[in-house]
């Protein structure tokens, strides 16, 4: 209890107040009670306290406060304003009651009610209550569910009577009436007829409750669906009536399961010898049942798995063991993987073994495929890195090739200097080809299908193939003279040949001969094509491997030694070109992979043997856009040397500021630049200047980006760039 003045200061507190906060009464007067309010109740209690004091009326507060021992207690306080004889307000008198135990009791009661409700629902028990004065009942939701009706608050005696099966109605009502007369308990089992016509058995239990005068005023009780129990009883009775036939039938079923089971079933004695085994043993292992009965079980287990199985058997003497994987050695010496389960019973062990050989094989194949996928992902990452390096290397090659080309065409120096320039240009050209191959490996080179002559292509590959195959492999390349050109992408075809050659090398670990041939072939249907064949003297492939050889991610090289994508990529390339791939192989007899390529109607382009003089080329004004200063300088000088006027821009954004664009005869732009790239620049210019020729330059690109625009790969010679520009300006490109 406490007493406060007008200034809200405590004037008096009793010993219980002081004991709650563990302070002497004189110090408790100055104690700030707000410091012990539970944080969750703080704002509400302060707000209600301020409002109550302002009203000058009695008010109550209820919340949690921290006792001196650190525990939280629920307090219910009542504050009453005090007035003097003249009616002047003089403060408040307050008293607080500890409600913690009451709160906990209420919570326990609610929990008990909740548990009871959940228990009855979980047990499928419904509750009901009859008001005998009004003659109507209240049914719980579970009761309504059992009876099959959707109402329960106002159930009449007629409703209840109609729900009972006519044959059981009299007995059920008589049992209830008898219990009501005695003010005692009653129970009955009867059938109810649900509105949908379904008949269910229920068990009803109830008790009568009397009023103050001793007269029964209401009944309460439970109802439970016992249909399954009744059916089980009926089935049990039926089973008992036909026990002998049922036992015989079950025996036949057990014997059938024993005979027909696809799992190996065994019975072991205390010495773990086989005393019984089902007939599948013959199909699974090749042994007859009589050959294994009486033998130690572990005799047929793979030696490496015997310790594991012995430990499981030791445990199996006391408890059930399951999912023990151990290999079974069959008659021919091969093994099969079985998953074993065992249960001890009356001194015997009942053991089953499920054949999991195929399942483990599929898991192993899945693991190999996953490893192959990881290898492919590594190659993809290497390809991305390779593409970026090749692009940068192209930018470095561009000013080198451009500068050397200008020096050669201007005839700088004497004969010796010109030879050095020619040699440097040849090396740069080889570097350019190498970069193109790197780009093809990274799949950043646009697919360019054109007429390709196989003789020079294979001749250029000879040195690369020889260094790749190593000294143990003898390489021979035979091309039929006068062979027609094929329709192909030269870079992709080179990669396919290199891939097949590497496969052939791996198939000849001790070395051997590798023969690459190309010849003209006419099929039985009259269709002519070029047959490009790669033949090795390696280990060859059996029929099963041959069927799956071109399957993606399938590899016979072993884990980590191949991605399983090489042959599938080659087959995919042939299909894209309108051709096909065929593989002939046998174990120990080598392998021949044949690519059937379509013949081109055009003649393969031959290297230019002369440079067109600059004076004969069409001149014009060029806008050159490139963010690399050295590349832009070399390209600009090469074009100026050809007689063009060149204006330079270091970015697409800068180029857009150089309007009007009708003063330019052509725009030459790099593709990959910071900010806006070359394709985006071209799209902007084509909207306002649709007739303006635009030529793209890049070290790499994907086909979709350049499918609608003229494109020249970097690095390029001034002659190639000049021809492309003049062709655009003349409208022939």
User: Phi and psi dihedrals of 218, rounded to 5?
Assistant: -160, 165
pLDDT of residue 170: 93
List helix spans (H) across 123-214.
Answer: 141-147, 157-163, 166-181
* Burial 31-48, CB ≥16 within 10 A → b, else e: bebeebbeeebeeebeeb
Q: Are 680 and 367 in contact (CB under 8 A)?
A: no
Q: Are 454 and 518 in contact (CB under 8 A)?
A: yes
Please name each of the domains of the chain with its CATH number.
Answer: 2-98 (3.30.450.20), 106-231 (3.30.450.20), 247-355 (3.30.450.20), 454-597 (3.30.565.10), 616-730 (3.40.50.2300)
Counting as low any pLDDT under 50, the low residues of the chain are 441, 443-445, 559-563, 605-618, 701-705, 732-733
What DSSP string describes 549-606?
TTSTT--SS-TTS--S-HHHHHHHHHHHTT-EEEEEE-TTS-EEEEEEEPBPSSPPP-
pLDDT of residue 704: 45
pLDDT of residue 705: 47
pLDDT of residue 323: 83
pLDDT of residue 465: 86
Burial class (CB in 10 A: 0-12, 13-18, 19+), 238: exposed
Three-class secondary structure of residue 188 per DSSP? strand
DSSP 8-state class, residue 486: E
How far out from the chain centre does Cα 136 lie?
60
DSSP H or E run through 488:
strand 486-488
pLDDT of residue 174: 92
Per-residue CA distances from 475 to 77, 502, 514, 624 (Å):
104, 12, 5, 47
Per-residue CA distances from 681 to 385, 553, 570, 649 (Å):
27, 41, 37, 12
Burial class (CB in 10 A: 0-12, 13-18, 19+), 655: buried
Three-class secondary structure of residue 706 per DSSP? helix
Closest C-alpha among 697, 1, 6, 702 to residue 384: 702
pLDDT of residue 433: 59
pTM of the prediction? Answer: 0.34
User: Phi and psi dihedrals of 97, rounded to 5?
Assistant: -115, 140
Residue-wise pLDDT tens digits, 428-437: 666 665 665 5
Q: Which residues have C-beta within 8 Å of that of residue 645, sequence separation ≥ 6?
A: 619, 620, 621, 622
- Pairwise CA distance, residues 573 & 498, whole Å: 14
pLDDT of residue 389: 64
Q: How many other CB atoms sit within 10 Å of the CB of residue 720? A: 14
Pairing of strands 621-625, 666-670: parallel
Beta bridge pairs of residue 594: 533, 582
Q: How many other CB atoms sit within 10 Å of the CB of residue 213? A: 6
Closest C-alpha among 241, 287, 295, 232 to residue 264: 287
């Amino acid at each position: 209890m406490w007493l406060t003045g007008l200034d809200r200061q405590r004037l008096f507190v009793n010993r219980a107040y002081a004991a709650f906060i563990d302070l002497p009464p004189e110090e408790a007067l100055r104690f700030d009670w707000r410091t012990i309010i539970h944080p969750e109740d703080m704002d509400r209690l302060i707000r209600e306290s301020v409002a109550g004091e302002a009203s000058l009326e009695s008010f109550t507060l209820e919340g949690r406060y921290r006792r001196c021992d650190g525990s939280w207690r629920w307090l219910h306080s009542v504050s009453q304003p005090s007035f003097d004889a003249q009616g002047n307000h003089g403060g408040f008198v307050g008293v607080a009651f500890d409600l913690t135990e009451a709160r906990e009791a209420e919570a326990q009661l609610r929990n008990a009610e909740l548990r009871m409700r959940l228990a009855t629902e979980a047990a499928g028990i419904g509750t009901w209550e009859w008001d005998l004065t009004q003659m109507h009942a209240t049914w719980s939701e579970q009761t309504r569910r059992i009876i099959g009706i959707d109402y329960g608050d106002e159930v009449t005696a007629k409703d209840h009577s109609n729900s009972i099966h006519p044959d059981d109605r009299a007995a059920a009502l008589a049992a209830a009436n008898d219990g009501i007369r005695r003010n005692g308990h009653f129970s009955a089992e009867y059938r109810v007829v649900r509105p949908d016509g379904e008949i269910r058995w229920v068990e009803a239990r109830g008790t009568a409750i009397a009023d103050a005068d001793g007269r029964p005023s209401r009944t309460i009780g439970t109802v439970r669906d016992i249909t399954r129990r009744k059916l089980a009883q009926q089935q049990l009775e039926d089973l008992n009536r036909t026990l002998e036939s049922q036992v015989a039938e079950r025996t036949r079923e057990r014997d059938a399961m024993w005979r027909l089971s696809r799992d190996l079933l065994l019975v072991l004695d205390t010495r773990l010898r086989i005393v019984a085994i089902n007939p599948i043993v013959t199909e699974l292992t090749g042994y007859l049942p009589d050959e294994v009965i009486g033998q130690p079980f572990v005799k047929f287990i793979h030696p490496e798995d015997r310790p594991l199985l012995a430990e499981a058997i030791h445990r199996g003497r006391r408890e059930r063991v399951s999912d023990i994987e151990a290999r079974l050695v069959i008659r021919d010496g091969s093994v099969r993987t079985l998953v074993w389960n065992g249960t001890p019973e009356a001194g015997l062990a009942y053991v089953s073994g499920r054949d999991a050989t195929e399942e483990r094989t599929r898991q192993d194949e899945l693991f190999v495929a996953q490893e192959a996928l990881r290898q492919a992902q590594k190659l993809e990452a290497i390809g991305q890195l390779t593409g970026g390096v090749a692009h940068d290397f192209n930018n470095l090659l561009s000013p080198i090739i451009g500068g050397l080309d200008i020096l050669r065409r201007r005839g700088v120096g004497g004969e010796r200097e010109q030879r050095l320039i020619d040699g440097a240009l040849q090396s740069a050209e080889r570097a350019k080809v190498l970069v193109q191959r790197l780009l093809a490996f990274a799949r950043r080179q646009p697919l360019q299908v054109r007429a390709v002559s196989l003789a020079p292509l294979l001749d250029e590959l000879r040195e690369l193939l020889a260094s790749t195959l190593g000294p143990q492999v003898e390489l021979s390349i035979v091309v039929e003279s006068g062979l027609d050109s094929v329709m192909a992408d030269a870079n992709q075809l080179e990669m396919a040949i290199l891939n097949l050659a590497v496969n052939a090398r791996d198939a000849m670990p001790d070395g051997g001969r590798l023969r690459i041939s190309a010849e003209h072939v006419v099929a039985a249907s009259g269709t002519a094509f070029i047959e490009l064949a790669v033949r090795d003297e390696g280990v060859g492939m059996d029929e099963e491997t041959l069927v799956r050889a071109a399957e993606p991610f399938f590899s016979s090289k072993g884990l980590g030694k191949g991605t399983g994508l090489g042959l599938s990529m080659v087959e995919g390339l042939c299909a894209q070109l309108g051709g096909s791939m065929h593989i002939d192989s046998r174990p120990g007899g080598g392998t021949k992979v044949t690519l059937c390529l379509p013949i081109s109607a055009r003649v393969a382009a031959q290297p230019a043997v002369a440079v067109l003089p600059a004076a004969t080329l069409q001149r014009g004004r060029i806008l050159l856009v490139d963010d690399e200063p050295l590349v832009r300088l070399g390209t600009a000088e090469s074009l100026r040397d050809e007689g063009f006027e060149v204006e330079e821009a270091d970015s697409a954004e800068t180029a857009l500021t150089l309007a009007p664009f009708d003063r330019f005869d052509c725009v030459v732009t790099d593709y990959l630049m910071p900010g806006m790239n070359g394709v985006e620049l071209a799209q902007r210019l084509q909207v306002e200047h649709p007739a303006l020729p635009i030529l793209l330059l890049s070290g790499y690109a994907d086909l979709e980006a350049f499918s609608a625009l003229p494109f020249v790969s970097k690095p390029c010679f001034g002659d190639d760039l000049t021809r492309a520009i003049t062709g655009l300006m003349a409208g022939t490109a």
